[in-house]
Structure 1
Amino acid sequence: MPGMTARSRAERHRASTPLELFFDLCFVVAVAQAGGRLLHAVAEGHAATGIVSYAAVFFAIWWAWVNFTWFASAYDTDDPLYRVVTFVQITGVLIFAAGVPRAFDAGDWTIGVVGYVVMRLALTSQWLRAAYCTRGAERRVALRYAVGITVVQLGWIAMLLLTDDTGGARAAVFAVLVLAEMSVPAIAERDRPTSWHPRHIGERYGLFTIIVLGETIAAATVAVQEALDEHRAFGELLPIAVGGLLIVFSAWWIYFAVPIHDYLRGSREAFIWGYGHYLIFGSAAAIGAGIEVAVEEAVGKAHVSDTVAAAAVTVPSALFLLTVWALHARHFKRDLAEQLSLPVAALAILACTFAGEWAVLAAGLVAAATVIVEVALSRRPAVTG
């Protein structure tokens, strides 16, 4: 059996593998579960608690994906053992997805933590294999990852011992464990980064963005279809459907306007960019839930005002634009006009919240106009001194 050695950062034509794409698709189940629970929470008038639960659940989904993605970028051997261990990780993802409703609605993380244990046992074995097959600083990095992941996972298991009578202790422990999770890579790679591949990482994040946006379209389509079948409210639903599509299409266009791999030159840029995608992925998935809320409000099923229903779409849409600008697009802007286009668009989309039944359509038109402006600005001749 071949050893597990690091792949070269200079490797040409490094692309996502079919196994990585399969891994990503399995996360759709968990993303759909989180979005569905957010929909029900907001539609029932529990937006604040729903957003908090969604943020916690989506962090767990996103972080599991991040752990695998960066490891695979550095150590993907694609041999039989690697594939089998990845299948075990996928099994853990599906177990976690089954526990999302309980974690979301009742704060019961038991099934979710079991799924994480399965994923972490598999990932830790991958890091130990990498440590066994390497020497020196590279081996130390792999061992730090294995130890760090194991220690934090023990923390998640210990969190289950805290009962509801403990008050805010579980929430505090959850926050501490989140910080501990995100510190493991920084500690493990403090003196030597892993050999992740910039072009490959850029492609992996882009593909997961597509998958999340695809889930958003799927969820919104089902919501519109069910509303039409039950209520025949074509006139009320058409503006929401058109506006939702314009938002999602524009989100895709804006995210992929520039390639990111040339910016990811070192670990500092990569950490900030990679961690920041929690907001990009989370807001993209929340757009779908928001469109579903708007549909249910339009046909009288949601127990919220039209302003709250509109905000369920406009707030995550604006957050998506602002985060893409902050992490991604602003590094390639040439002047103030280009820099301001996305932040101004985000503010304009937020203002659409108060447009009543036309809010989603108005937000979609703003998003589409933003794409047109971005394209026009990017095609101007460069000013030379």
Structure 2
Amino acid sequence: MASRPQRLLRGDDSSLNASFLELFFDLAFVLALSQLAGHLLHDLTLVGALRTALLLTGVWWIWVTTTWFADWYDPASPSVRWLLIGAALGSLLAGVAIPHALDGRGLLFAGAYVAVHIARGVVTVFALRGHPRQRRALRILCWFSVSAVPWLAGGFLPAWRVPLWLAALAIDLTGPRLGWPTPRMGRTGRQELHLAGEHFAERYQQIMIIALGELVLVAGLSYAGTQLDPPQTAAFLLVFATAVLIGLLYVTPAGQRLGPAIEHADPTRLGVITGYLHLVMIAGLVVTAVGAELSIAHPTKTGDTTAVVVVLGGPMLFLAGRILFSLAIHRRLSWARVVALLVLAGAAAVVRLPLLAVTGVATGVVLLVVVLDHAGVLSYRRGSGA
């Protein structure tokens, strides 16, 4: 009969498909991404963008670490199930706090973030006592306990909130890249950090669908609130086309190679780096959603530099993350995609075009990159690289 620690850990015969509760956990990000888009829309300044990025990174790191947790531990275990439910609740509370997280609800945001990580660490350390994997859980708990101090201090000290939370995120994001080194225990070895590539690739695709769903939802709601005039209809169709193209761009071809790449790579490199790069791509989708709302609501508006930067900046940010994603998977840089990114950057200077035309430029560039990626799939299958 298996011991309690062995029942907690994911076995070799465990299904690599996402469990029901993992998908339920993802639903919390529907609210979070919607709140983040609204947060940025109401403060379209550089400072507002940086503040939104700070909150997005915090929410995203709950998702990443919970996905690692579900990859290492058996989702059929009662303890794992309750921790996934708790993580979903914590993510929802963080989403509720987002609009005022840097004002009056900072403690709610920080408390939800800290509670998810500390509860997970305490339960796994206790459940794994006597098992070699307890040291991994203890190292992770130590790092999150350290970062909990600036997180909670920032919740109590509004004037110092941003620098304290930046310091906390720096601790949380660098820990896995270093293997969570801890006094007297050293750092976690590669074998302890192994990730099931098939499971992880599926989870990334699922969260990307959630992010794309937010873009489609914003487009639909924005269009529903208009008079359905031809310019507004055209803007809506262009945004929908952009969402479809971004989805195709994600899965072809690097997205298809993600599972095997993670399975055979150093987890402290690719396993962690893909978490960073997906953050960039999802940030691009949040900005694209804000640009979609601006474009659909005011398709004929010209001369609005901020709106032009947002409409083009979302696809630019996604493409930048996507280029680096391909580089991480294939160890090769696609200069054609870099040129497409520069075209978008150059188009941002054309502020005299109506937002409908600017949206058309963004959609056209993404379409070009999708065509190039499709050609890459064909050449990869012939053995000449992707």
Distance in 2 (CA, whole Å) between partners of 1:81 and 1:5 is 8
2:239 to 236, 240, 244: 244
Q: Is the 8 A contact 2:147 2:169 kept in 1?
A: no
Two-structure CA RMSD over aligned residues (Å): 2.6
1:299 to partner: Cα distance: 7.3
Q: Distance in 2 between matches of 1:371 and 1:198?
A: 24
Counterpart pick for 1:173 among 159, 164, 168: 164
Aligned to 1:293: 294
1:84-141, CA deviations, whole angstroms, 9 ceiling, x for partnerless residues? 222122111111111111125x375122122224323432234324532622xx2211
1:127 equivalent in alignment to 2:124: yes
Cα deviation, 1:228-282, whole Å, max 9, x if unaligned, reads 2xxx251221332122122211111111002212222212222222222211111
The one-letter code matched in structure 1 to 2:41 is L
Matched, 1:50 2:48: yes
CA contact (8 A) 2:299 2:354 kept: no
Q: Distance in 2 between matches of 1:383 and 1:163?
A: 55
Provide the residue aligned with 2:184 in structure 1: none
What displacement does 1:221 show?
A: 1.2
Distance (Å, rounded) in 2 between the aligned partners of 1:153 and 1:383: 48
Q: How far apart are 1:313 and its partner, in Å?
A: 1.9
Deviates more, 1:371-380 or 1:254-263: 371-380
> Could you report, residue by residue, the CA deviation over 1:318-363 in whole angstroms, capped at 9, with x for unpaired residues?
11112111123674488x8xx2232122222333332433110121
> 1:222: Cα distance to partner?
0.5
Q: TM-score scaled to structure 2, two decimals?
A: 0.85
* Mapped partners of 2:127, 2:336: distance in 1: 45
Contact 2:124 2:134 in 1 (8 A): no
Q: 1:220 to 1:142 in 2, by over 3 A?
A: same
- Partner secondary structure for residue 204 of structure 2: helix
Cα distance in structure 1, aligned partners of 2:99 and 2:309: 23
Instruction: Count residues in correspondence.
Output: 362
Rate the CA distance shift 1:133–1:87 in 2: closer, same or farther, 3 A. farther
1:50-69 aligned within 5 A: 50-69=48-67
Return the offset for 1:6: 3.3
- Alpha carbons 1:297, 1:306 under 8 Å: kept: no
Counterpart of 2:199, as a letter, is H
Superposed CA offset, 1:54-92 (max 9, x none)? 101101110111110111101134222321222122111
Question: SS of the residue aligned with 1:7?
Answer: coil
In structure 1, list runs of 5 or more residues that go unmatched.
Answer: none
1:234 aligns with 2:234: no
Are 1:280 and 2:281 counterparts?
yes
Secondary structure class of the residue paired with 1:14: coil
CA distance in 2, matches of 1:326, 1:320: 10
Q: Is the 8 A contact 2:287 2:313 kept in 1?
A: no
Whether 1:6 and 2:5 are equivalent positions in the alignment is no
Q: Whole-Å Cα distance in 2 between the matches of residues 122 and 221 of structure 1?
A: 38
1:149 to 144, 152, 162: 144
Q: 1:289 to 1:126 in 2, by over 3 A?
A: farther
Distance in 2, Cα, partners of 1:163 & 1:322: 33
Q: 2:154 aligns with which of 149, 152, 159?
A: 159
Alignment of 1:166-245 (within 5 A): 169-185=160-176, 186-188=178-180, 190-192=187-189, 193-226=192-225, 228=226, 232=227, 234-245=229-240
Ranges in structure 2 where 5+ consecutive residues have no aligned partner: 182-186
Q: Identity rate of aligned residues, in percent?
A: 23
Counterpart mapping for 1:341-352 below 5 A:
341-352=336-347
In the TM superposition, residue 214 of structure 1 has moved relative to its aligned partner by 0.9
Using the alignment, how far apart are the partners of 2:309 and 2:363 within structure 1?
13
Give 1:266's aligned amino acid: D
Distance 1:279 1:328, change over 3 A: same
Matches of 2:279 and 2:236, distance apart in 1:
26
Q: Secondary structure at the match of 2:42?
A: helix
The 3 A distance-change label for structure 1 pair 176 and 322 is: same
Give me the whole-angstrom Cα distance separating, in 1, the residues matched to 2:222 and 2:346: 25
Q: Alignment partner of 2:286: what SS? A: helix
Secondary structure in 1 aligned to 2:157?
Answer: coil
The alpha-carbon distance between structure 1 residues 153 and 237, as it changes in their structure 2 partners (threshold 3 A), is same
Q: What is the Cα deviation at residue 378 of structure 1? A: 3.3
Question: Alpha carbons of 1:78 and 1:195: their partners in 2 closer, same or farther (altered >3 Å)?
Answer: farther
Alignment-mate amino acid for residue 271 of structure 1: V
- Partner Cα distance (1:295, 1:158) in 2: 41
Counterpart in the other structure of 2:250: 255
The equivalent of 1:112 in structure 2 is 109
Q: Cα deviations across residues 194-225 of structure 1 (Å, max 9, x unaligned)?
A: 33211211111111011101111101210111
Query: Partners of 1:112 and 1:172 in 2: how far apart?
Result: 15
Normalising by structure 1, report the TM-score.
0.85
Letter in 2 for 1:237: Q
Matched residue type, 1:370 = V
**Cα separation, partners in 2 of 1:374 and 1:86, compared to 1, 3 Å:** closer
In structure 2, the partner of 1:70 is 68
